[in-house]
Structure 1
Amino acid sequence: MELEAGFSAVEGGFDLRFAGRLVLRHRPDAPVLDSARGNPSVLMYRGNFKIDDAPEGQLTPLDCALEDGAVTLSHQGAAVARLELADNRLTVTLLTPGHDRISLRWHAEPGETVWGGGEQMSYFALNGREFPMWTSEPGVGRDKTTELTRQMDESGMAGGDYYHTNYPQPTILTSRWLAVHLDAACYSVIDCADPAHHAFAVWSSAATFELFAADGPQDLVGQLSTRFGRQPPLPDWAIGGAIVGLKDGTRSFERLEGFIQAGAAVSGLWCEDWAGIRETSFGRRLFWDWRRDNQRYADLPQRIAALQARGIRFLAYANPYLCNDGILYEEALEGGHFCLKPDSDEVYLVDFGEFDCGVLDFTRPQTRDWFAEKVLGKEMLDIGISGWMADFGEYLPTDVRLADGSDPMEAHNRWPVLWAEVNAQAVASRGKTGDAVFFMRAGFSGVQGHCPLLWAGDQSVDFTRHDGIGTVITAALSAGLVGNAYSHSDCGGYTSLLGNVRTVELMERWCELAAFAPVMRSHEGNRPDDNLQYDSTPELLACFARWSRVHAHLAPYVRHLCNEAVELGLPAQRPLFLHHPDDASLYAVQDQYLYGADLVVAPVIEERARERQVILPGEGEWVHAFTGETFSAGTHMVAAPIGCPPVFYRAQSGYAELFQGLRHP
């Protein structure tokens, strides 16, 4: 009879099975573990990190001994590591003094696909590559073969690569419907380069891995959602129309009227410049002192109330840093709320690009309480602000001194979770959980239980493979597998540098994509004066208005998806295989998605494309939402002119009548 869970001695080594599946396999010619002594080098510049290691004294133990449900691995008679399984937790402890590097190789079957790693932007399936787990700026370009990335690398290590992400998470899921989660915040690497195993490299002398198993992907995703915490359902206002992003002072209110007059379904006005602006070489930045700028936004509480009376919410912006030329900086300094230099009581200032900021020390309960009450509570929620971009969270330096004495190399990845906790605390303090919505780009394990909505970060304003419009699909799909139900993007893109500016085609295609996400929100970008905006021309305004109505029309269906997220832990945007797990050809598909079980959304993410290949999974018929044409399940080349993206609904869907209305929203 097959062992359900536990170690067994086999052929001079051992096997570990979990839920009847082989998960670890150790043989003298295929050892399961290495250990070493680390010799790290960490360099940070404006949120971009260069991390290297030159490990010493590497040991690869070949001998093993099983006793009392545990395994001891030895090298030349000396014990190197001990592995113990208790319930679904495997603990690995190094026994060699001074060793603090673990490399553990999880067994992989031939052809097994692996996903995870948090929010990945370039690759949905992780096979064949390594993915460091370290929250950071994702980079501009993210493709070492491009001129943009090369120039950004020369300018402050800012080019990035395929694995850089705001939101890493050391969790993998495999097509054997297993999941492995490293329960640690230290630096680690998921290494799927070798098809024989999925390795975790961990910068620690001990590590605990949690194991999950299911009969299919939906239950597995639900288990992970339960483990990390489920988000509350999105409020009606957030899914019932578009959030228009403008940063033009009080003129933003006047411009909003243009959107409304054009027939847009508007649920919110987002003004990230509510606290003022700062012009830099990067573009129009914000003044990082989270108090309303009474000159730029006169009578803001009254204007917010007037909007809300019309069913339109007002949203703002905050992040966990304070500029040293702002008023709140002085109050925070007096309250002891900043991280300090390692060898003095001076505030550790971080260069954020032509201005310096103090980093709020969220290891102090008093600091968390102060920011939640003073800034997010009194300055924002109490004047009627209903949501905000809770930006950043990736910049904790690795050489600061923290109030709780923790190692900043370990605290770095925890920082986005602490930041999310502070925001959730503020919302809860005003009884606004499930009504006020903040959205984050940074994350790590556990952020799911506090952050109600992700956004995909700062894409370039283009169609490029690793940093353009298509990456927001990969981001939503990967993050959704590890417990994040709701994701969206900056409609129109954000990063415009070195002459890279928005085109009309990009703006139109991004609308087509954004309408089929739980939240539709536009952004003016980092260089608004150099770029097209949705109210730059009547044609673009009409485009945005149309797709905002499509988004609003889908609200009853999105409410259904929110209910599924709460009850089952399923994300709104789903990989095709989630409902069709027996079709292995779907496992690596990352350029289209299921929106719930009943819609297939295949956005056009290639420049000048006017058709694209679409996979309609399963069996039965699918109906094109904008032409009414019926297609059988399978792969089709579908016409995709601008204004008519390939979106299909199941002919037998209980929402078929609603979907039919998409042709004339």
Structure 2
Amino acid sequence: MASRRGKTAVELRFSASEDAFELWLDGKLLLRHANSCPAVVIARGNPSVEMYRGNFRIEDAPRESVRPDSFSLDGDGAVLLSDGIEVVRLSLAGSALQVDALDPSFDRIHLHFHAEAGEVVWGGGEQMSYLALNGRRFPMWTSEPGVGRDKSTELTRIMDAEGMAGGDYWNTNYPQPTFLSSRWLAVHCAETCYSVLDFTDANTHRVEVWSSSARFEFFGADGPKALVGLLSDRFGRQPALPDWAISGAIVGLKSGASSFDRLEKFIDAGSAVSGLWCEDWAGIRQTSFGRRLFWDWHLGERSEERFPGLEGRIVDLARRGIKFLAYVNPYLAEDGDLFADAAAGGHFCLKLDSDEPHLVDFGEFDCGVLDFTREETRSWFAERIIGREMLDRGIAGWMADFGEYLPTDLRLADGSDPMEAHNLYPVLWAQVNAQAVASRSKTGDAVFFMRAGFSGVQAHCPLLWAGDQCVDFTRHDGIGTVITAALSAGLLGNAYSHSDCGGYTSLHGNVRSEELLRRWCELAAFAPVMRSHEGNRPDDNLQYDSSPGLLDCFARWSRVHAYLAPYVRELCGEASRSGLPLQRPLFLEYPDDPKLFAVQDQYLYGSDLLVAPVIEEGADRRDVVLPGEGPWRHCWSGEDFAPGTHSVAAPIGAPPVFYRPEARHAPLFAGLAGVLSQ
């Protein structure tokens, strides 16, 4: 089968002996099935699914497990038998393998892929805790990632007790059942149901699928960059980010009309500002979690009270080259103005036992869930809300939030099983936003950013953000997780990622420190988009305009971010052509060094800049791995370092950043120190 973009043909084939057969991809072994050790096991599931405010508890007690004990090959397929009865069929189609339980009541498929000694695997979507997945199990189910995400911490224990909200290392807004291997092959499960990538056994890569049939797609290349390009071909490619998004910081403020006055302080301090993001544009409500938005996405009485004359303000900002950004999500508050219109149009998911909208508790207020399995609903939301209320009023970008909350106990217009639609929902949500942007001929100009995703979101969402990190340095939910998120998602064709500069979640006395705000600026400057956030409890936390020192910090790093725009523009072009992410794990450029395979606390920005943010509280030095051959030049001192691991000084205001002296953009990088000192 010839792959896209002229790459080498892919050969997927079976080979057999008397009591075993193997599946090969271009000379690389994918799986080995033996009568004594079957590669496929099926069972009947017995699931339990519980959801509370986007947090899920999913358990299973499968029964009647069947392990095939014989097989027969038939052309491009195989039939597996148990006690003489045909139980599973394997069929080849191009570069894909179709696995079917012949009795559809067997709705659990466990497939065991070949693993070699020392083989490293990555992928799984946007993973927050681990870049290399070896030794762990990763359920594929979009959800809230949790607060704390570490069962050994007091914060996680408190949040678990308050509503299953603590999370674990594998919880993510954006899972994807795709993994890449250091043998430079990739395996993708093309189903949307609940599944698990299990790498706890060093001898096999196990995939568990909650279905009676599953399709697996395979990709092979001669190195990781070509492999990432193939995956980007498969899942879709984002348009290049517009100049405005990469040439200055987006300042996030949510204090109503006073946000405009506060923005002037950022500008007066010398900040390079490309946008003002006011997520409270449609009004607010107060809850015990903090100040929440009023989920009724239009300019009405609440928005006019909070932002008098907003449309005129947007025009005034545009004249100064500053974009206005807003917020939207796929739910409508029951007490909002748009709820009745949506209900009358049949746009909500329905209760199981009536034609009433299924309501979800989002934390002291209930909302209807838009049924995006219905084409009319996708078009209604894209036109009525995003088109008329946002784009037509001059809004140039927005956070397209949530997407993970589709319950499993409701009815969908297309009749699909919510267990299969749940993971698909973020992709449909992205499609709605992209449809609205395209309807106004704004693709590549207007930018929305999402945290939720699943396989195929790449084709619709132009920019990821890493979700709601805690305002701290903790290992599994703090500042460092945004690096892992960008690197893991980037391997699956998501070229652009960024984070809430300053963090988001502040609960149970966990508040921002000045050190955290400064360190997050240092990290955010070296991402394609730099955007601040005031967090869920802005009144309890430091903000970048809380003191002259913090304001100056933000201004200096925003200028660094803007200064790098020519380089970032070139990287955007490369991403458009090849699918390569802007923030890259070291092994992507240096695949022959296995020591780099698990490095997740530093990254290459393109191929020529190396960024090693400080993500440990109180640290003023850190170890930095400099890969490859030839020297790396320290951006702030000009000192050259040989390849290898070095302990590098990292005081606040000077995180370790290096560049290759022979790089085409070396003169640009050499000017970074001067920009920072201005």
Normalising by structure 1, we get a TM-score of 0.99
Alpha-carbon shift at residue 10 of structure 1 (Å): 2.7
State which of 457, 475, 492 in structure 1 corresponds to 2:502.
492
2:198 aligned with 1:191:
yes
2:55 aligned with 1:45:
no
In 1, Cα distance between the equivalents of 2:68 and 2:638?
63
In 2, Cα distance between the equivalents of 1:333 and 1:570?
43
Q: Counterpart in 2 of 1:104? A: 111
2:589 aligned with 1:579:
yes
In 1, Cα distance between the equivalents of 2:17 and 2:479?
50
Alpha-carbon shift at residue 96 of structure 1 (Å): 3.3
Please tell me whether the aligned partners of residues 79 and 96 of structure 1 are also in contact (alpha carbons under 8 angstroms): no
Alpha-carbon shift at residue 629 of structure 1 (Å): 1.1
Alpha-carbon shift at residue 400 of structure 1 (Å): 0.8
Please tell me whether the aligned partners of residues 4 and 21 of structure 1 are also in contact (alpha carbons under 8 angstroms): no
Please tell me whether the aligned partners of residues 133 and 170 of structure 1 are also in contact (alpha carbons under 8 angstroms): yes
Alpha-carbon shift at residue 333 of structure 1 (Å): 1.1
Q: Counterpart in 1 of 2:292? A: 285
Q: Give CA deviations for 1:190-239 in whole Å, capped at 9, x if unaligned.
A: 00110111111000000000000000000000000010000000000000
Alpha-carbon shift at residue 11 of structure 1 (Å): 5.3
**Alignment partner of 2:659: what SS?**
strand
Q: How does 1:152-231 map to 2 (within 5 A)?
A: 152-231=159-238
State which of 488, 493, 500 in structure 2 corresponds to 1:483.
493
State which of 389, 406, 420 in structure 1 corresponds to 2:399.
389
Q: Counterpart in 2 of 1:408? A: 418
State which of 613, 618, 624 in structure 2 corresponds to 1:614.
624
Q: Counterpart in 2 of 1:21? A: 28
Q: Give CA deviations for 1:604-639 in whole Å, capped at 9, x if unaligned.
A: 000000000001110001111111111111111100
State which of 644, 649, 652 in structure 1 corresponds to 2:659.
649
**Alignment partner of 1:275: what SS?**
coil
**Alignment partner of 1:415: what SS?**
helix
Task: Report the residue type matching 1:368 in the other structure.
Answer: R
In 2, Cα distance between the equivalents of 1:10 and 1:192?
27
Please tell me whether the aligned partners of residues 46 and 61 of structure 2 are also in contact (alpha carbons under 8 angstroms): yes
Q: Give CA deviations for 1:428-460 in whole Å, capped at 9, x if unaligned.
A: 111110000000000000000000000000000
2:352 aligned with 1:342:
yes
Q: Counterpart in 2 of 1:9? A: 16
Task: Report the residue type matching 2:279 in the other structure.
Answer: E
**Alignment partner of 2:382: what SS?**
helix
Please tell me whether the aligned partners of residues 276 and 296 of structure 1 are also in contact (alpha carbons under 8 angstroms): yes
Q: How does 1:238-253 map to 2 (within 5 A)?
A: 238-253=245-260
Alignment CA distance shift 1:347-1:5 (3 Å): closer
Task: Report the residue type matching 1:390 in the other structure.
Answer: A
Q: Counterpart in 2 of 1:519? A: 529
Alpha-carbon shift at residue 8 of structure 1 (Å): 1.2
Alpha-carbon shift at residue 28 of structure 1 (Å): 3.2
Please tell me whether the aligned partners of residues 11 and 95 of structure 2 are also in contact (alpha carbons under 8 angstroms): no
State which of 571, 574, 585 in structure 2 corresponds to 1:564.
574
Q: Counterpart in 1 of 2:267? A: 260
2:466 aligned with 1:456:
yes
Please tell me whether the aligned partners of residues 122 and 133 of structure 2 are also in contact (alpha carbons under 8 angstroms): yes
In 1, Cα distance between the equivalents of 2:305 and 2:509?
32
2:100 aligned with 1:90:
no
Please tell me whether the aligned partners of residues 81 and 88 of structure 2 are also in contact (alpha carbons under 8 angstroms): yes
Please tell me whether the aligned partners of residues 104 and 212 of structure 2 are also in contact (alpha carbons under 8 angstroms): no
In 2, Cα distance between the equivalents of 1:528 and 1:569?
37
Query: Unpaired runs of 5+ in structure 1?
Result: none
2:445 aligned with 1:435:
yes
**Alignment partner of 2:164: what SS?**
coil
Alpha-carbon shift at residue 27 of structure 1 (Å): 2.0
In 2, Cα distance between the equivalents of 1:143 and 1:306?
46
**Alignment partner of 1:544: what SS?**
helix
Q: Counterpart in 2 of 1:323? A: 333
Alpha-carbon shift at residue 558 of structure 1 (Å): 0.3
In 2, Cα distance between the equivalents of 1:99 and 1:334?
40
Q: How does 1:360-399 map to 2 (within 5 A)?
A: 360-399=370-409
**Alignment partner of 2:225: what SS?**
helix
**Alignment partner of 1:618: what SS?**
coil
Please tell me whether the aligned partners of residues 492 and 522 of structure 1 are also in contact (alpha carbons under 8 angstroms): yes
Please tell me whether the aligned partners of residues 491 and 581 of structure 2 are also in contact (alpha carbons under 8 angstroms): yes
In 1, Cα distance between the equivalents of 2:104 and 2:315?
63
Please tell me whether the aligned partners of residues 534 and 543 of structure 2 are also in contact (alpha carbons under 8 angstroms): yes
In 1, Cα distance between the equivalents of 2:101 and 2:556?
60
Please tell me whether the aligned partners of residues 142 and 162 of structure 1 are also in contact (alpha carbons under 8 angstroms): yes
Q: Counterpart in 2 of 1:73? A: 80
Aligned length: 663
In 2, Cα distance between the equivalents of 1:571 and 1:264?
27
Please tell me whether the aligned partners of residues 414 and 444 of structure 1 are also in contact (alpha carbons under 8 angstroms): yes
Q: Give CA deviations for 1:150-180 in whole Å, capped at 9, x if unaligned.
A: 0000001000000000000000000000000
State which of 359, 367, 372 in structure 2 corresponds to 1:357.
367
Task: Report the residue type matching 1:502 in the other structure.
Answer: R
Q: Give CA deviations for 1:576-603 in whole Å, capped at 9, x if unaligned.
A: 0001000000001100000000011000
In 1, Cα distance between the equivalents of 2:380 and 2:34?
55
Q: Give CA deviations for 1:120-167 in whole Å, capped at 9, x if unaligned.
A: 000101100000000000000000000000000000100000000000
State which of 555, 563, 580 in structure 2 corresponds to 1:553.
563
Alpha-carbon shift at residue 4 of structure 1 (Å): 5.1
Q: Give CA deviations for 1:79-125 in whole Å, capped at 9, x if unaligned.
A: 12111112101000112351010000010111000000000000101
2:125 aligned with 1:127:
no
Identity %: 71
Task: Report the residue type matching 1:307 in the other structure.
Answer: L
In 1, Cα distance between the equivalents of 2:657 and 2:188?
34
Task: Report the residue type matching 1:391 in the other structure.
Answer: D
Alpha-carbon shift at residue 9 of structure 1 (Å): 1.1
Task: Report the residue type matching 1:455 in the other structure.
Answer: W
Q: Give CA deviations for 1:240-285 in whole Å, capped at 9, x if unaligned.
A: 0000000000100000000000000000000000011111111111
Alpha-carbon shift at residue 390 of structure 1 (Å): 0.1
Alignment CA distance shift 1:466-1:11 (3 Å): farther
Please tell me whether the aligned partners of residues 11 and 27 of structure 1 are also in contact (alpha carbons under 8 angstroms): no
**Alignment partner of 2:342: what SS?**
helix
In 2, Cα distance between the equivalents of 1:96 and 1:399?
25
2:247 aligned with 1:237:
no
**Alignment partner of 2:668: what SS?**
helix
Q: Give CA deviations for 1:400-434 in whole Å, capped at 9, x if unaligned.
A: 10111111110000000000000001001111100
Alpha-carbon shift at residue 77 of structure 1 (Å): 1.1
Q: Counterpart in 2 of 1:294? A: 304
Please tell me whether the aligned partners of residues 502 and 532 of structure 2 are also in contact (alpha carbons under 8 angstroms): yes
Task: Report the residue type matching 2:509 in the other structure.
Answer: G
In 2, Cα distance between the equivalents of 1:150 and 1:350?
24
Alpha-carbon shift at residue 365 of structure 1 (Å): 1.1
2:640 aligned with 1:633:
no
2:537 aligned with 1:530:
no
**Alignment partner of 1:272: what SS?**
coil
Please tell me whether the aligned partners of residues 113 and 125 of structure 1 are also in contact (alpha carbons under 8 angstroms): yes
In 2, Cα distance between the equivalents of 1:627 and 1:312?
34
In 1, Cα distance between the equivalents of 2:81 and 2:569?
55
